[in-house]
Amino acid sequence: MPNLNTSWAFALHGGAGAVAGRDYAETEKHLHELGSACRDRLENGDAALDVVEFAVAELESCGLYVAGRGSAPNSANHVELDASIMDGASRQAGAVAALQDFVNPVKVARGVMEKTPHVMLAGSGAVAFARNAGFEEVADPSAYYTLPVGVTQDDITDIAHGTVGAAVLDQSGGLAAATSTGGTFGKLHGRIGDTPLIGPGTWADDDIAISCTGIGEHIIRSGGASSIAFRYKSGIELHDAVQEMLDEVGRLGGDAGLIAVTRNGEIAMPYNSEGMKRASASSASELVVTTFGEE
Ligand code: ASP
């Protein structure tokens, strides 16, 4: 049942690409620290939009996940980064796709939202915008990118994947979501998945904030995050709304996971892959961090 006394809530994910049997103690420790910082900010009254940007930027910079520093190269041996952010109350949104060599794609996505009349910039246009706006560039790409925790060289030739995301309800009732990725391993040069797409990968409105992870092609074809929001808005319970979307991804042959936070402070973090690195807390519940097992 929704807890109507919840004043703030958040969920974070470090991707649904976790592989059973591998050790995620380091990412769980990191998610615990980051979750504590998010909790402090929300108790302090920070806005949901600022908290999702803060959390995703940290997940990008640390190199432990397949986003920002932890991203793997594509078929042309370039790292191409995708990110998006959405504010529920205003429905403002920003995104970048196939961005090369910026430290925090999510900050550039917020820049697109706030400094341009557009929702998404891609490729060389995104780079030109980010450079002109003064966002931090990767100084030495050949030395910067790392293999994330739980990823081996063998994975890079396989269809493995990972992503990071945050969904937040703040004390004033504001909802926001953000997502960032280096994409699926071995992806073609120019390939763009669900992550930078407002709708499939990231969604926030007055009722719900959602960030998806998993094989982007299947998430896009399932309708993704906004299809959950529309189900929820029509009166379907949160648990059923997220499960219907995941069932559709499964029917299409993919795997995925997602985090969702509602205006009532309900949190859902389901996945149909082997595992999903994740953390959540609210003013009514303790910080929980886990990778495998039940929600
Ligand atoms: N959704 C991301 C993509 O397809 C990958 C992931 O979430 O693991 O690019």
Q: Is 3 part of any domain? A: no
Strands 202-204 and 93-99: unpaired
In-domain check, residue 239: yes
Among residues 190, 166, 202, 178, the alpha carbon closest in space to that of 81 is found at: 190
In contact, 58 and 171? CB cutoff 8 Å: no
Query: Helix or strand or coil: residue 127?
Result: helix
Residue 131, domain CATH: 3.60.20.30
Would you say the CB of residue 224 lies under 6 angstroms from ligand 1? no
Which tens digits make up the pLDDT trace of 84-101?
999 999 999 999 999 999
C-beta of 180 in contact with ligand 1 (< 6 A) = no
* Probe target for ligand 1 pocket from 191, 215, 249, with the most ligand atoms within 8 Å of CB: 215
pTM: 0.95
Tens digits of per-residue pLDDT, 44-88?
999 999 999 999 999 999 999 999 999 988 888 899 999 999 999
pLDDT in tens, 202-222: 999 999 999 999 999 999 999
The tally of domains found in the chain comes to 1
pLDDT tens per residue across all 295 residues of the chain: 444 557 999 999 999 988 888 889 999 999 999 999 999 999 999 999 999 999 999 999 999 999 999 998 888 889 999 999 999 999 999 999 999 999 999 999 999 999 999 999 999 999 999 999 999 999 999 999 987 777 776 666 555 677 999 999 999 999 999 999 999 888 999 999 999 999 999 999 999 999 999 999 999 999 999 999 999 999 999 999 999 999 999 999 999 999 999 999 999 999 999 999 999 999 999 999 999 987 5
In a domain, 65, yes or no: yes
Amino acid 89 reads A
In a domain, 1, yes or no: no
Residue with tokens 């999510």: 106
Contact 209, 177 (CB under 8 A): yes
Tell me, yes or no, whether 2 lies in a domain: no
Alpha-carbon Rg for the chain, nearest whole angstrom, is 17
> At 87, which amino acid appears?
D
Q: What is the pLDDT of residue 160?
A: 65
State the pLDDT at residue 77.
Answer: 87
Nearest CA to ligand 1 atom 7: 213
CA of 240 to the centre of ligand 1 (A): 23
Answer left, alpha or beta for residue 101, where phi above 0 means left and psi between -120 and 50 means alpha.
left
| 184 in catalytic set | no
Tell me, what's the pLDDT at 265? 97
pLDDT at position 295 is 59
Distance CA 69, CA 66 (A): 8
The pLDDT value recorded for residue 103 is: 98
Range of the domain at 60: 9-290
| Phi-psi label, residue 177: left if phi above 0, alpha if psi -120 to 50, beta otherwise | beta
Torsions phi, psi for 139 (to 5 deg): -70, -45
Give the pLDDT confidence score for residue 3 in this predicted structure.
47
Of the residues 6, 27, 163, 181, which is catalytic?
Answer: 163
User: Which residue from 98, 156, 95, 165 is spatially nearest to 127, judged by alpha carbons?
Assistant: 98
Query: At what angle are helices 25-43 and 48-61 packed, to 10 degrees?
Result: 160
149 CB-near residues (< 8 Å, 6+ apart): 23, 24, 26, 27, 64, 65
- Please report, in angstroms and rounded to a whole number, the separation of the first and last CA atoms in the chain: 15
